[in-house]
Amino acid sequence: MEYEKNMSGGKTMKQRSKKFIYLYGLADGTLAMIPTIYNSYWSLFLTSAAGLSATGNATVLSIIGIADVLSILLVSFLVQKCNLKFGKFRFWVLLGGIGAAVTRVLAFTPLMLGSVAYFAIMAVISSSLYNLAYCAYMGMVPLIADSQEDRMTTVTAQQQCVAITSIVVSLISVAVIQNVGYWALSAIAAVAIVASVIPMYFATKDVDVYKPAEKMTQAEKEAQPSVWDMIRLLANVPMLMYLLGSICKIVGSIGLAMLVSYYYTYAYGDMSMLTVYLTLSTVLQLVGASLAPFVNKLVKGNRNTFAAGMVIYAAFLALAWAFGSHSAIFFTVCLSVGYMGWAITHTADAAYYSYIGDYVEYKHKKNIQPFLMSMLSMVIKIGIVVSNLVVGWGLVAVGFDAANVTETAKTGIMNLTVLMPMVIMIIGAVITLLSPLSDKRVRTIKAELEKRHAGEQA
């Protein structure tokens, strides 16, 4: 790992070039095409081109959901405990990324029409390999960037690349599927993934450096956690505050994403505005991600940036709820502009989360950073499960019936779409600000860890 001396004579991580940061971010952008395409088209593919019944579709989705959680746990332990000559993280990104890309093409290829087993197996393999790649990828963030500012720069590049690939997918997906097939869309993603993870693998060779056990200092050996350490050290106040705040972020955003189509279909009665919203919000996601570093400087710290984005989102949702009931255009613009707030929060997410690992090392002298960064996917999965419950039972609570949508149900859909995410986002912001990982505390922790690491190398 590359270091340079700081003003006090200690060692700080060498600042990376923009070219390197965006090369690293591009790998995340292309890998993100896998869940983007999956979330948009997998269920539709299964019930159309793949020839599965509704029951078969539900069975496949259920199997994938269970396997997804189990695979994240497995790969998190794997990434933490393995120390390969090819790199602790980058090799898994390469292997998992290419493997996921190839198997996802096979999953979207109807080789065995109507076979629940085939599509379930291919999707589970592909999802597991994707989890391996993504978990390992996120594990490199603390190695690439040390300070709050540098980590924010790194994750901003990631989110910009993710936003760009999302725009590309949204622009080409329908045409590719209609003219060629679902497999072709996945094949395009596969080519992009291979073209990005291979150069990223070689570019990070000086970041993810293999260090055999015999060359580790005694302090470094003692910092290596046991499996029990990895489990017990997950229970800490910053982790709890992050988990609750992040679940609020996910439930608020995914809940709105799931419900907004109901609003345009049933409450407003015109699906055409949904296309406007999806396009505008995706473009503004890129803008929000780009604004995140400036917000970070303004509010001082990743924790505060994470909270600020939720407040911004909630503010525009409040405007949509208060004044958008009679104007779909105003409603759509408010939702789309508010999405910039979500993008700011989402951009700060990984940087804010990464300091939980530093906190654990500072307090307990155990380095569980790789395991923690790998577990970031698990937090997302928990949020998605909660979102499904909230949306599903929320629609039941407002009396929604597609065959007979009453005025009461329409009002309920409006409130669920906007008011519920707004309240949840505000709660998430408040919880986040209660986290002890303030800018001042993080700087204190980093300074102490730098002293320890400098002493270990002396």
DSSP secondary structure code for residue 37 in this structure: H
pLDDT at 221 over 80: no
Which pLDDT score is estimated for 380?
79
* Residue that is last in its domain, among 210, 245, 276: 210
Q: Does residue 215 form part of some domain? A: no
Q: Does the pLDDT at position 87 exceed 70?
A: yes
3-state secondary structure of 179: helix
Say which residues have a Cβ less than 8 Å from residue 48's Cβ, sequence separation at least 6: none
Domain match, 141 and 274 both: no
Average pLDDT, the chain: 86
Residue 379 forms part of a structural domain:
yes
Q: Does 227 reside within a domain?
A: no
No. of helices (H) and no. of strands (E), the chain:
19, 2
pLDDT tens for each residue of 359-379: 999 999 888 888 887 777 788
Please tell me the least confidently modeled range out of 9-18, 78-87, 154-163, 437-446. Answer: 9-18
Same-domain status, 165 and 252: no
217, part of any domain: no
Res. 444 pLDDT band, cuts 50 70 90:
very high
What is the model's pLDDT at position 84?
A: 81
Say yes or no: 167 and 237 in one domain: no
| 236 and 206 belong to one structural domain | no
Q: Is 255 found in the same domain as 190?
A: no
The 8-class DSSP code of residue 301 comes to: S
Report the number of distinct structural domains present in the chain: 2
Same domain, 206 and 343: no
Residues 237 and 205 in one domain: no
pLDDT band, very low/low/confident/very high, at 345 (cuts 50, 70, 90) = very high
Q: Is position 282 within any domain?
A: yes
Please provide the size of the chain in residues: 458
Average pLDDT over residues 238-251: 92
| pLDDT the model gives residue 184 | 96
Q: Assess whether 168 and 238 both reside in one domain.
A: no
Same-domain check for residues 150 and 255:
no
Domain end among 159, 179, 210: 210
Report phi then psi at 448, rounded to 5. -65, -40
Q: Is the pLDDT of residue 237 over 90?
A: yes
Three-state DSSP class for 16? Answer: coil
Q: pLDDT (tens digit, 9 = 90+) per residue, 91-135?
A: 999 999 999 999 999 999 999 988 999 999 999 999 999 999 998
Domain termination site, one of 180, 210, 240: 210
Higher pLDDT, 258 or 75: 75
C-alpha atoms less than 13 angstroms from C-alpha of 249 in its C-beta half-sphere? 31
Torsion over CA of 266, 269, 271 and 274, rounded to 10 degrees?
Answer: -80
User: Is the pLDDT confidence value at 427 over 90?
Assistant: yes
Residue 279 maps to which CATH number? 1.20.1250.20
Residue position matching structure tokens 């260090």: 211
Cα-based distances in Å from 329 to 268, 270, 284, 323, 431 = 11, 12, 16, 11, 33
Asked whether residue 44 falls in the same domain as residue 155, the answer is: yes
pLDDT tens track for 1-45: 444 443 333 344 566 888 999 999 999 999 999 988 887 788 888
Is residue 163 included in any domain, yes or no? yes
pLDDT in tens, 286-296: 899 999 999 99
Residues 181 and 239 in one domain: no
Instruction: Report the candidate in 257, 437, 455, 224 with the shortest Cα–Cα distance to residue 342.
Output: 257
Contact between 448 and 362 under an 8 Å Cβ cutoff? The reply is yes
Q: Is residue 224 part of a domain?
A: no
pLDDT surpasses 80 at 335: yes
CB 46 within 8 A of CB 52: yes
The answer to whether residues 424 and 366 belong to one domain is yes
Q: What is the pLDDT of residue 10?
A: 38
Helix (H) / strand (E) element for 12: namely strand 11-13
**pLDDT at residue 457 in the model:** 59
